[in-house]
Each structure stands twice: as C-alpha cells, then as structure tokens.
C-alpha cells in the first residue's frame, strides 16, 4: 500500500487529508469521485493508514510511520477497524449488504484504533434503499466512525447524502509523471511508457494495466490490424474480425478507446497546418503508426472524422445498453469505412 506522499498526483486531495489531520478536523463522511483506476482506493487507504497509525497518535505526526502494528495490518489489508464493504452482484450494492456490513456494526466500538472506517468502492451502485439505509449513519454517526464513498458518478447519490459528505475529486496525472513512474518501476522502454501514459489520459491505474496486461496487447494488435486498412477492408473480413473480439468482451471499453485514439490522432494530423510536421507527430498516441495515420488523414474530411468519432461514442453506449455485440462492432467498422 502506497504512503500518501508516494501516490502520484492528486495533490489537492492529499493536501486536504494532511490538513484535516493537522487541524484535527476529520469528517465523518467523504465522497471521492474519479474515473476507474484514478487512485480513489489508494487515497482512502493511505488516509486511513495515517488515521489509525499508533505512532502518529502519540507524536501527533501528520504521516503514518509504516512500522507499527496498525500500519503493518493496513499494508496486509487486515486491519480490524478498516472495513472494505463488499457486494455479491456486479451491478448493485443492496440494502441488505449495507445493513449487514455498515448499519448493524457501526455502533460496535473499534477493536484497537481510534476510528472505525468503512470504505465503499463503486458506491454509485448502492440502490435507493441502500442509500437511505446508510443515510442515518452519515447523519448521526458515532464519534469514531468514518465512511468513504468511492464513486465514478456522484450524480447517482441522493441529494441528502451529497449534502452531508465532503466531496473530493481525483484529477488526471501529468503524462510526464506517469512516464517517469512506469519507466522507473517496470524498467520498460521509453516509447512503451510514453504510449501507456498518453493512452491512459492521466489515469495511472489504466496506464499500469496497459503495461502489465498481455490481453490488452493482443486486443491492441487485433484492432490496429483493422484500423490500418479500414479504408479498404472487405465486408466478409469485417465479420471474421469481429468474431475474434468475443474473447475480449470484458475489455470492450479498451477496444473503443483504441478506436477513438486512432481517429483522435488522425484529427490532430488533419488539423495541423504548421510547416514542421514533426510537431504534430510528437503529439499523437500511435507514433509507430504515423505513416498509416498520415495516409488516412489525407483521405478523410474533417466532417467525416467528427462523424466517425460520434459513431464510436454511440457504439459504446449501445454495448452498455446490451445491444447485440457482433452487430454493434460490425456496424461501427462499416460506418467508419464508408467515410473514406
């Protein structure tokens, strides 16, 4: 588990937590909002470690010592007073789960630490009944209770919950910072770190997934095989290619991101009017594909690029709405090909 100062970026969130410790103004409820992989769990865990640190309680330091029993338990994710709320169904956190893990246990004093901390990841998945169940705890918490609601969408919460929580937002980390971190930690080539940093758009969790996942590498290669020749691909080839995506259904968002980044690169090349073409080349994500991208940028009109980007976003929504998988991908590729 990273120490709070070792977490990349998100300086405002970290400063808020350190100031809260310094001034002894700890809130009973926090909402941390940000994209998946943006560091929400790391921030909540790092702050929890500071709050529960036995050395800090004696010395009033604003950092965790990383050596006491409490810090070691936090590292091992088995601290008895830091509860990671779980849920069985992927799409919902039920009222029963909130009652069992939070409401019915919050009045039990902490076993050893000064605080009893509940961390609810994907908290936007709490249904209305679950939110109403936890609301009373947020409104009238025991002195020692702290609740973290980690979410990608604060709009899913009841207004009564929003009004009673401190809202903190994660922000994208700079590309250079991510490149340096990936290079130092994983000892990868500079161009590989640069691609992951650019593709992730400042999301450190996503950047690490790109580096570590063989599945992502396979998906990227498969998709680039289509994109390089999308302007001349035959209809029968499209159907055959789409069949290969069935094994990557769990990472379909990555497919759409690759598609989107490809045409975003084309848009950058198309819009560049400077005589020095190296400037635009340095800004694109798929630098190794420059020749193919430049060729397609010369063929496409700006309106066509906008149209394709719109179709990519529409296809992503259709997949999330459980529209037929193969048909949605085939239609997207056909619509993109038609614009050349």
Q: Do 256 and 264 contact (CB within 8 A), yes or no? A: no
| Domain, as residue range, for 186 | 174-212
Q: 33 and 148 share a domain?
A: yes
Least Cα distance to 164 among 196, 135, 191, 206 occurs for: 135
Q: 24 and 145 share a domain?
A: yes
The answer to whether residue 228 scores a pLDDT higher than 70 is yes
Distance separating alpha carbons of residues 201 and 175, to the nearest angstrom: 7
Kind plus residue range of the DSSP H or E element containing 133: helix 128-139
Distance separating alpha carbons of residues 209 and 134, to the nearest angstrom: 33
> Mean pLDDT over all residues of the chain?
93
Which pair of structure tokens corresponds to residue 79? 């601290």
Q: 19 and 131 share a domain?
A: yes
Mean pLDDT of 282-309: 94
Q: Do 263 and 312 contact (CB within 8 A), yes or no? A: yes
Radius of gyration of the chain from Cα atoms? 24
Q: 194 and 220 share a domain?
A: no
The total domain count for the chain is: 3
Indicate the angle between helix axes 252-271 and 325-338, nearest 10 degrees. 10
Q: 230 and 91 share a domain?
A: no
Q: Which tens digits make up the pLDDT trace of 118-150? A: 999 999 999 999 999 999 999 999 999 999 999
The answer to whether residue 227 scores a pLDDT higher than 70 is yes
Least Cα distance to 36 among 127, 131, 151, 173 occurs for: 151
Q: 203 and 75 share a domain?
A: no
Q: 18 and 156 share a domain?
A: yes
How far is Cα of residue 175 from the mean position of the Cα atoms in its chain?
Answer: 15
- 216-240: b or e for each residue (b if 16 or more CB lie within 10 Å)? beebbebbbebbbebbebeeeebee
List of residues 6+ apart from 281 with CB closer than 8 A: 269, 287, 290
Distance separating alpha carbons of residues 87 and 101, to the nearest angstrom: 10
Q: Which tens digits make up the pLDDT trace of 20-36? A: 999 999 999 999 999 99
Distance separating alpha carbons of residues 238 and 331, to the nearest angstrom: 9
CB count in 10 Å sphere of residue 242: 19
- The region of weakest confidence among 79-93, 176-190, 278-292 is 278-292
Last residue in a domain, options 212, 231, 264: 212
Residue 276 — very low, low, confident or very high, per pLDDT cuts 50/70/90? low
Kindly report the pTM of this predicted structure.
0.86
- List the CATH number of the domain containing 51: 3.40.50.300
Strands across the sheet containing 82-85:
82-85, 116-120, 145-151, 29-33, 166-169
Distance separating alpha carbons of residues 263 and 90, to the nearest angstrom: 32
Q: Do 121 and 39 contact (CB within 8 A), yes or no? A: no
Least Cα distance to 43 among 14, 80, 23, 72 occurs for: 14
Q: 120 and 9 share a domain?
A: yes
Which pair of structure tokens corresponds to residue 83? 């509860």
Phi-psi label, residue 154: left if phi above 0, alpha if psi -120 to 50, beta otherwise = alpha
Last residue in a domain, options 185, 212, 239: 212
**Residue 1 pLDDT:** 66
Least Cα distance to 267 among 206, 312, 204 occurs for: 312
Q: Do 78 and 13 contact (CB within 8 A), yes or no? A: no
Q: 38 and 185 share a domain?
A: no
CB count in 10 Å sphere of residue 43: 25
Q: 100 and 18 share a domain?
A: yes
- List the CATH number of the domain containing 229: 1.20.272
Last residue in a domain, options 212, 229, 264: 212
The answer to whether residue 277 scores a pLDDT higher than 90 is no
The answer to whether residue 235 scores a pLDDT higher than 90 is no
The answer to whether residue 109 scores a pLDDT higher than 90 is yes
Q: 158 and 193 share a domain?
A: no
Which residues, in sequence order, are bridge partners of residue 117?
82, 146
Q: 12 and 155 share a domain?
A: yes
């Amino acid at each position: 588990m990273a120490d709070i100062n070792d977490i990349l970026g998100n300086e405002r969130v970290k400063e808020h937590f350190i100031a809260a410790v310094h001034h002894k103004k700890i809130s009973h409820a926090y909402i941390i909002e940000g994209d998946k992989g943006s560091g929400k769990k790391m921030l909540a865990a790092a702050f929890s470690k500071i709050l529960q640190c036995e050395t800090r309680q004696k010395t009033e330091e604003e950092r965790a010592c990383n050596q006491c029993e409490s810090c070691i338990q936090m590292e091992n994710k088995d601290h008895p007073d830091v509860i990671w709320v779980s849920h069985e169904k992927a799409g919902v956190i039920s009222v029963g789960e909130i009652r069992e893990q939070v409401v019915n246990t919050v009045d039990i004093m902490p076993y050893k630490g000064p605080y009893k901390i509940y961390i609810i990841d994907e908290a936007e998945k709490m249904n209305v009944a679950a939110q109403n169940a936890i609301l009373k705890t947020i409104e009238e918490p025991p002195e020692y209770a702290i609740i973290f609601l980690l979410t990608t969408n604060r709009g899913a919460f009841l207004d009564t919950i929003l009004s009673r929580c401190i809202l903190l937002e994660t922000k994208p980390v700079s590309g250079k910072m991510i490149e340096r971190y990936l290079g130092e930690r994983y000892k990868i080539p500079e161009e590989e770190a640069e691609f992951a940093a650019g593709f992730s758009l400042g999301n450190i969790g996503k950047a690490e997934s790109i580096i570590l996942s063989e599945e992502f590498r396979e998906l990227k290669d498969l998709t680039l095989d289509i994109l390089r020749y999308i302007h001349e691909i035959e209809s029968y080839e499209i159907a055959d290619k789409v069949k290969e995506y069935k094994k990557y259904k769990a990472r379909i968002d990555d497919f759409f991101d690759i598609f989107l980044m490809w045409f975003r690169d084309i848009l950058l090349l198309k819009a560049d009017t400077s005589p020095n073409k190296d400037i635009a080349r340095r800004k694109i994500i798929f630098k190794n594909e420059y020749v193919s991208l430049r060729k397609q940028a010369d063929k496409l009109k700006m309106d066509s690029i906008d149209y394709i980007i719109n179709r990519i976003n529409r296809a992503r929504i259709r997949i999330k709405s459980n529209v037929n998988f193969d048909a949605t991908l085939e239609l997207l590729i056909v619509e993109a090909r038609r614009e050349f």
